[in-house]
Structure 1
Amino acid sequence: MNDRLVVDPITRIEGHLRIEAETAADGTITGAWSSGTMVRGIEVILQGRDPREAWAFAQRICGVCTLVHGIASVRAVEDALDYEIPPNAQLIRNLMVAAQYVHDHVMHFYHLHALDWVDVVSALSADPKETAALAQSISSWPKSSAGYFSDIQTKVRNFVEQGQLGVFANGYWGHPEYKLPPAANLMALAHYLEALEWQRNVVQIHTIFGGKNPHPNFLVGGAPSPISLQAQGALSATAVNMTGLEQIRSVIRDMQAFVDQVYVPDTLAIASFYKDWFARGEGVGNFLTYGDFPETGKEDPADWLIPSGAILNRDLSTIHPVDITAPDEVQEFVAHSWYDYKGGKDAGLHPWEGETKLNYTGPKPPYSHLDVEKDYSWLKSPRWKGNVMEVGPLARVLMLYAKGHEPTKDLAGKALSQLDLPLEAMFSTMGRTAARTLESKIIADQMTVWYDALIANIRAGDLSVHNETKWDPSAWPAEAKGVGFMEAPRGALAHWVVIKNGTIDNYQAVVPSTWNAGPRDVEGKPGAYEAALMDRHKLAVPDQPLEIQRTIHSFDPCIACAVHVVDPDGDPLVQIKVS
């Protein structure tokens, strides 16, 4: 009989996720179940509200994914009202979303995922001269001297000796699956600390265009802050002036430098020691993108940077068109979720018809195991035409590659050549991690194109950032529905809204971590996390499931996006009243 292993919570992610895995006597994972252990209620909170303010509530779905839910929400309302936005507003949104991408991917790699591959304790035994030689051999990054790495080593050693490991505490240090030499561990650890400093500068793009971070401001119909031609003085609280725009240019350059000289070289260096992880952890083989980054204010898929489509069974030669408004394409199932539908547990609902009816039938905490034959998660099970789909950076990079996007083909080709791996290696845990890095390079480079286009418009006299034509609800139809979709850093994200008589009648958000982390569906098909864990995984040390963390973290889970808080009896812990 196989043993059942419980990992709860999965650490270094946003939100609460429980993984249960059955293992054979040799440590091979033979079954896996993913459970979101909190419940989402934002959809219920939004009912009856003014759709123009929905973004401010929807954006609070998560404190890490910050602006993406705001963008999806305003796009949903704009779609429902056939509300076009000016080209400048689209460029500003692209720059804000792109900054979120690069920030999120770098932070994920170094602070949420790198420690699955980097042994912090091993770094203490490294020779700083060897570390400097390694760093200088792969990059021209200026912070690569032996003295610099010696200082980093001393700082971390002091933490260890004083028992102040902090975020480095409770790791599986010394685990036999750690393969980096001490010099590489020290280099990655130094860059971990540098990334903490770097990220504070990156968020200035959000504060300049959106007033603050996290949760910058947005506006249905365009961008929230007007553009001023004033060049001097402090940044205005209500306008983006030329000083602010020059600051954004500087931040973009800093982002590109870190990605080019630190993030990309580190990923390739670490991956070279873990090439076996390019052969496990895929699972589904189906990939979905909604598409994103329009070049103009009009929704023309031909000018999107990231195309829309579906890939089935690894077949990159055939891109299936995706219509997320079609009732039979995107559906959510609750066969193994703690929800009820009017049509029964076996029904699948398109989000415009979606329901959020809570019904917790699981065990009372504390409990040893979930009853996985019944309901076992607060996450629903989204499906595209009945197929389990993976969303995220790997799906996007594969889609770009399949569509012939030259920068993607060039970057992927060079990386795979350096690692002496075929394209098929991307279908894996490490491929997922590498795709996130390649995507960061692609998007960071594209930010300069969008920035230059915005400046060109301004210099030509176009300062428009908002369309006022449909701001008055008296001009709206009695009933309208729309969908706001985008490619969030973690994958395909969409908010569906139904508006009746000027207020929200129904609202449903299907987020990337619901696509990936959802439980089995009515046909018993496992979700993307579950399938990936059952794809050639073997635990070297059963009570230190590092292998599980590696694959789950490669998706960059954000369970807070998929769930919100109730107590063990199912009662809300917090009620918010707005007068």
Structure 2
Amino acid sequence: MSKHVVIDPITRIEGHLRIEAVIDENNVITEAYSSSTMFRGIETILQGRDPRDCGLLAMRICGVCTGTHYQRSIEAVEHAFDVTIPKNARIVRNLMQGALYLHDHVVHFYHLHALDFVDITKALEADPKKTVEEAQKWAKLSGQRSWKASEDTFIEVQERVTKYVKQGRLGIFGNAYWGSKAYKLTPEQNLIGLYHYLEALELQRKIAKAQAIFGGKNPHPQSIVVGGVTCVQDLKNPARIAEFKDIIQLAQKFIKEAYLPDIYMAGTMYADEALAGIGGGLGNFMSYGDFRLDDLPFYESSKLFPSGIVMNKDLSKVYELDQTKITEDVTHAWYEGNTNLHPYDGVTHPKYTGFAKKENNIAYLDTEGKYSWIKSPLYNDERMEVGPLARMVVGVAKGDERITKYVTTFLKNGNLPTKVLFSTIGRTAARAIESEMMADEIIKWCDELAVNVASGDLSTWTEFDFDKVSKDTQGFGMAEAPRGGLGHWVKIKDGKVENYQAVVPSTWNAAPKDYKGRLGAYEASLIGTPVVNPDEPLEIIRTVHSFDPCIACAVHIVDTNGKELAVYKVDPIGGSCA
């Protein structure tokens, strides 16, 4: 007899996500539905605004990847007005974005995803001496020593967590499926994961500081403007560049000595699932490309991550990206309007129709009708997965030497075949592979900036006359966020925003079915997944977390009765804000 499982909310993510799954008598998932339970209204807020101000508002879409939305919005306006930024501005933007990647990836794996693999309570049973040996074993796979591994360190970590247990609370480690048979790590491996979790808390604070060096603050940096950046004094100061580089080098060390070894460890222990392709999903991958390596306009320049499309896991063929083929479907999303509209013509008119039925005090989604606040994006009428795995897959398929080197080295060190990438474990591994490459590249960019400034080039902004540029125009900013392809599209009429649409990574991945009944990336990844205990569906959470969901990027808030919630008047001259 099948069982209908509801997980709401999916925890350890940004925003509210609901997953419903049907599990058959063999405990295998046969149906899955992904639903965002919040509404995004940022596009409506931006209408009628000065396009130069859009970035500061658009970054409020999310509290995690704020700088990414900021930059994409600015780039959309720069594209509309044909503005090319100076070299220093390009490098600074790369540094800010690169630091965001490292921060996001480290936080994601350790604080949002690792506890899907690591059983905290079992770590208390570990032998500290054997834990040191275990940690060094995995670090040696990549030619490293394990991050600060010592018997005393592991004893101290056990004592700290034991105190929480004796007090009847686990604090940040509370409310999980501890003891589930879906956990496969040994006690010593669990202790390694626990220690690195705690170490990553301190590291993420330092990386956030690096983001603020050139961004002014974190989250929500303020140093990017249409035409360039404003952090002139920071890039002129060698000490500031050196401080940024020191933090990145620390992150680089942690990634090589802790993060990658932990992925080798988890990947080996869950190798059977990876080899079986559990969590593989759609098999269609898309990368917009990102991190400009020259000073051409962003849509023409060579990039660290190449753009492209790979279909059906076929690495022998790559299709070039054409943004005109992107559309959004609202058949199963709580919106009015026509389906399959390009973002330039997109509309965001909410139409909430509620849930379908209520049984045993549980309200179930109307999966035959509308069941999510997230639209369903399509590329050339196909469903796509975006994110680190997509970037690595497209890079390898395109023959990019840099990406291919990092991916093949990882697989060789772990004695793993390429096919393991197409799984939950592979998606998680791709993020770690990308982190190592990103840290190495950021350090090079620091040196590039220092050399360029030392040569006397202090230019940070390209002057343009807003009053003389075309008042009726349009532009897009398309690149990658840590979670995947992110695009902002703006239409400008009489110098004001006429229409604005953002299609974000979690719109691509977390979307519901489309007008043909085809599943979104989350939904497809869950089909065929065996679940040890349907009452403790750890496997569902693990696979969904592997995408690093950020539902806040896709949604905000609405009164479903259409009532006006509040009106705020701000005095821009500096009057009282009481």
TM-score normalised by L of structure 1: 0.94
Distance apart, 1:568 and its partner CA: 5.5
| Structure 1 equivalent of residue 304 of structure 2 | 305
* Corresponding residue number in structure 1 for 2:545: 553
Q: Deviations over 1:443-480 (max 9, x none)?
A: 1111122111111110110011111223xx31121201
Aligned residue among 436, 460, 464 for 1:441: 436
Q: Which runs of 5+ in 1 are unaligned?
A: 229-238
- Residues 55 and 74, structure 2, Cα contact 8 Å, conserved in 1: yes
> Is 2:185 the partner of 1:180?
yes
> Hey, what does 1:49 align to over in structure 2?
49
Cα distance between partner residues in 2 of 1:206 and 1:290: 23
- How many Å separate the matches in 1 of 2:363 and 2:520? 22
Question: For 1:35-80, what per-residue CA distance to the aligned partner results, in whole angstroms no more than 9, with x for missing partners?
Answer: 0100000000000111111111100001111210001100000000
Determine if the alignment matches structure 1 residue 251 to structure 2 residue 238: no
In the alignment, which residue of structure 2 is the partner of 1:233? none
Specify whether residues 173 and 570 from structure 1 end up closer, same or farther in structure 2 by C-alpha distance, changes over 3 A only: farther
Does structure 2 conserve the Cα–Cα contact (< 8 Å) formed by 1:565 and 1:573? Answer: no
Q: CA deviation at 1:314?
A: 1.0
Measure the CA separation in 2 of the matches of 1:16 and 1:180: 29
Match of 1:402 among 394, 397, 400: 397
The residue aligned with 2:199 is 194
1:318 Cα offset (Å):
1.0
Match of 2:232 among 226, 239, 242: 226
What residue is the counterpart of 1:27 in the other structure?
27
Q: Which residue of 1 aligns with 2:317?
A: 318
Q: Deviations over 1:388-424 (max 9, x none)?
A: 0000000000111112223332332232234333111
Letter in 2 for 1:321: E
Distance 1:575 1:286, change over 3 A: farther
Match of 1:542 among 534, 557, 569: 534
- Indicate the residue corresponding to 1:509 in structure 2: 502
Map 1:227-242 → 2, pairs under 5 A: 227=233, 241-242=237-238
Matched, 1:566 2:573: no
Whole-Å separation in 2 of the counterparts to 1:432 and 1:158: 35
For the 8 Å contact 1:339–1:359, the answer to whether it is kept is yes
Please list, as runs of the form range in 1=range in 2, the aligned pairs for 1:342-361 lying within 5 A after superposition. Answer: 343=338, 347-361=339-353
Q: Name the counterpart of 1:231.
A: none
What does the per-residue CA deviation read over 1:492-514, in whole Å, with 9 as the maximum and x for residues that have no partner? Answer: 00000001111111000000000
Work out the CA distance in 2 between the residues paired with 1:486 and 1:411.
21
Q: Verify the 8 A CA contact 1:227 1:465 in the aligned structure 2.
A: no
Q: Which residue of 1 aligns with 2:335?
A: 339
Distance 2:486 2:447 in 1: 27
| Counterpart selection for 1:482 from 475, 485, 495 | 475
Partner residue in 2 for 1:235: none
Moved more, 349-358 or 414-423: 414-423
Number of the residue aligned with 2:162: 157
Q: What is the CA distance between 1:576 and its match in structure 2?
A: 4.5
Q: Which whole-Å CA distance do the structure 2 matches of 1:88 and 1:370 have between them?
A: 50
Q: Does residue 1:287 correspond to 2:285, yes or no?
A: yes
Which amino acid in 2 is paired with 1:281?
Answer: G
* Displacement of 1:169: 0.7
Residues 9 and 219 of structure 1: CA distance in aligned 2, closer, same or farther (over 3 Å) = same
Q: Which residue in 1 is equivalent to 2:130?
A: 130
Kindly indicate whether the alpha-carbon contact (under 8 Å) linking 2:147 and 2:258 is maintained by their aligned counterparts in 1: no
Aligned to 1:232: none
State whether residues 138 and 264 of structure 2, in contact with CA within 8 Å, keep that contact through their aligned partners in structure 1.
no
Tell me which of 360, 364, 374 is aligned to 1:369: 364
- SS in structure 2 of the partner of residue 97 of structure 1: helix
1:378-527 → structure 2 map (5 Å cutoff): 378-470=373-465, 473-527=466-520
C-alpha separation between the residues in 1 aligned to 2:147 and 2:271?
Answer: 28
Contact 2:355–2:363, Cα closer than 8 Å, also in 1 = no
Distance 1:313 1:370 in 2: 29
Partner SS, residue 269 of structure 2 = coil
Output the CA distance in 2 between the equivalents of 1:117 and 1:225.
41
1:27 is displaced (CA, Å) by 1.1
The separation in 1 between residues aligned to 2:7 and 2:563, in whole angstroms, is 25
Q: d(CA) in 2 for partners of 1:514 and 1:289?
A: 14
Q: Which runs of 5+ in 2 are unaligned?
A: 140-144, 572-578
1:38 is aligned to 2:38 = yes
Instruction: Tell whether the 8 Å contact from 2:52 to 2:226 is kept in structure 1 after alignment.
Output: yes
Alignment size in residue pairs? 559
**2-structure distance, mates of 1:242, 1:115:** 40
1:145 Cα deviation from its structure 2 partner: 0.6
Q: Deviations over 1:111-151 (max 9, x none)?
A: 00000000000001111111111123333245211001000
- Distance apart, 1:302 and its partner CA: 5.3
8 Å CA contact 1:360, 1:570 repeated in 2: no
Check if 1:12 corresponds to 2:12. Answer: yes
1:526 positional shift: 0.7
Change (3 A) 1:8 1:521: same
Cα 1:546–1:571 shift into 2, 3 Å: farther
Q: How many angstroms apart in 2 are the aligned matches of 1:465 and 1:387? A: 40
Secondary structure of 1:474's counterpart equals coil
Question: Which of 263, 268, 293 is the aligned partner of 1:267?
Answer: 263
Describe the superposition over 1:74-96 as per-residue Cα deviations: whole angstroms up to 9, x where unpaired.
00000000011001100000011
Moved more, 288-297 or 556-565: 288-297
Q: Is the 8 Å Cα contact of residues 480 and 500 (structure 1) preserved in structure 2?
A: yes
In 2, are the aligned partners of 1:476 and 1:502 still within 8 Å (CA)?
A: no
Amino acid at match of 2:61: I
Matches within 5 A, 1:51-200: 51-139=51-139, 140-200=145-205
Alpha carbons 2:236, 2:453 under 8 Å: kept: no
SS of the residue 1:339 aligns to: coil
| Alpha-carbon displacement from aligned partner over 1:175-198 (angstroms, at most 9, x marks no partner) | 001110000100110000000001
- Letter of the structure 1 residue corresponding to residue 154 of structure 2: F
Tell me if structure 1 keeps the 8 A contact 2:352–2:560.
no
AA aligned opposite 1:323:
D
Query: For residues 300 and 494 of structure 2, what CA distance do their matches in structure 1 show?
Result: 31
Task: After superposing the two structures, state which structure 1 stretch, 214-223 or 490-499, moved more.
Answer: 214-223
Retained in 2: the 8 A contact 1:180–1:270?
yes
Distance 1:6 1:132 in 2: 40
1:256-280 CA deviation, whole Å, 9 max, x = no partner?
1111111111111121101122121
CA RMSD of aligned residues (A): 1.6
Q: Contact 1:29 / 1:538 at 8 angstroms: preserved in 2?
A: yes
Change in Cα spacing, 1:552 to 1:574, as seen in structure 2 (3 Å) is: farther
Q: How far apart are 1:571 and its partner, in Å? A: 4.5
